[in-house]
Amino acid sequence: MNIKSILNPLKKKSLFLFAHLAEIISKFTNTDNKLIIFNSTQNKYYNFNSKYLFEAALKQLHGYTFYFVINDPKLKNNLINQYGDYFISTNTLEGIFIASRAKVWITSVLETPYFVLPFIKNNQRIIYHLGHGVPLKNIALSENKISLMKYINRYLRTRLFTHVLSYSTEFTPHMKKAFRNNKINFVHIGQPRNDFIKPNKELVRHFKNTYPQISNKSKIVLYAPTWREYAQTVFFPIIDLTPEKLDRFLTKNNVIIFIRSHPFYPAIIDERYSSIKNIIELDSVKFPEITGILGVFDKLITDYSSIYLDFLCLNRPIGFIPYDFELYKKNIGFSLDFDFMAPGPKITNKMDFFTFLLSNDSDTFYKHREKVKKLINAKTVHNCTENLELIKNLTKANF
């Protein structure tokens, strides 16, 4: 038997016990008001709102100590080289001890900074859930079809949060449905990452240099559908065009389509489409975060991905391909009426597709977009500042 196969389970059990011991100790000692721990997906990724608020905090929130949990050694070392010694691993005793001393934990996901779910809660601690996008679809405990084990797991995790970002008072009822915890304080401010969604001429130039297909007259379109647990996501599902005809159309009209599948769920992309010169895969390895480059794109096509709710900040055209709407509604469900929440044309055939790609931005959906923007508090300024002010007030720091 491989010695590692023996040591790994022993290490996990030891860390599990130490994490709970550290939480018990922290309940009876004072947490550090000036220590803040950030984390995100599986404690292995540097992404989502946690990333952007962390970077803003490093510049704006003086007098505090910050750490971001990264349990991937290679990524951790890369980030330390880029930002400095602000990263810890909580699959070590030292990392668990540091996290246990913090007054504030800030996360974009349901995972805590520990690699395990702590069954003991330190009531001194502020645990702020930022989320990783406005939930158009049902999430957490409000998902339509959820197994009993998943429900219990999510229920235990949502008991830990003291504060949850819920965008606006109008949207809060839908967040309450997802978390079902009357003790949570729902916070009506914007997403930190939206501060980074801006038109960026330098980034456009970088794209043009990287992808020779792009010219000054190109229409640059992002096509980014969402995930499905019940099936693989399909690109170009209703276009009914041969790749050859689509290739000619895109070339003739100088349209470049960047396709991006969900980083954690598989998708079906017909190789004949992906081989077209003007269709480029925007993979999550080269671009792990989409937020900072949204300003490059003139238009967005999606189905039900909440990426379009961020794209609203740019006030640019959005088209929707809800090719399996009834099935998606049955299996996942929506937090609000989809027709209201989707301020753009519904693409159901190739003519709709062509029309959307070629049309100029008009005021057809402008007022509709503004209504949705107000509902979800979508703006590109002051989001990080609002969140950092909240943290300062919660920790009763004096500046």
pLDDT of residue 24: 87
pLDDT of residue 95: 95
pLDDT in tens, 53-90: 999 999 999 999 999 999 999 999 999 999 999 999 99
By DSSP bridging, strand 32-39 and strand 65-69 are parallel
In CATH, the number for domain 198-376 is 3.40.50.12580
pLDDT of residue 48: 94
For the chain, give the mean pLDDT: 90
* DSSP letters for 248-292: HHHHHTTEEEEE---TTS-EE--HHHHTSTTEEE--TTT-S--GG
Domain ranges of the chain: 3-194+382-394, 198-376
Task: Calculate the CA 286 to chain-centre distance.
Answer: 17
User: To 10 degrees, what angle do helices 383-394 and 48-60 make?
Assistant: 70
8 Å CB contact between 317 and 365: yes
pLDDT of residue 198: 84
Kindly report which listed range (97-111, 158-172, 278-292, 303-317) carries the lowest average pLDDT score. Answer: 278-292
3-194+382-394: CATH class = alpha beta
pLDDT of residue 152: 92
Identify which of 173, 19, 21 has the alpha carbon closest to the alpha carbon of residue 105: 19
How large is the average pLDDT for residues 108-114?
A: 93
Distance of CA 135 to CAs 72, 132, 142, 167, 351, Å?
28, 9, 11, 11, 30
Task: Tokens 């951790």: give the residue.
Answer: 76
Do domains 3-194+382-394 and 198-376 share one topology? The answer is yes
Rounded to two decimals, what is the model's pTM?
Answer: 0.91
pLDDT of residue 362: 61
Q: Model confidence at 276, in pLDDT bands (50, 70, 90)?
A: very high
**Bridge partners, 37 (sequence order):** 67, 105
pLDDT in tens, 125-175: 999 999 999 999 889 999 888 899 999 999 999 999 999 999 999 999 999
Helix residue spans in the chain (DSSP H): 3-27, 48-60, 73-83, 93-101, 148-158, 172-179, 201-210, 243-252, 271-274, 307-311, 325-331, 338-341, 350-358, 366-376, 383-394
How large is the average pLDDT for residues 10-31?
A: 86
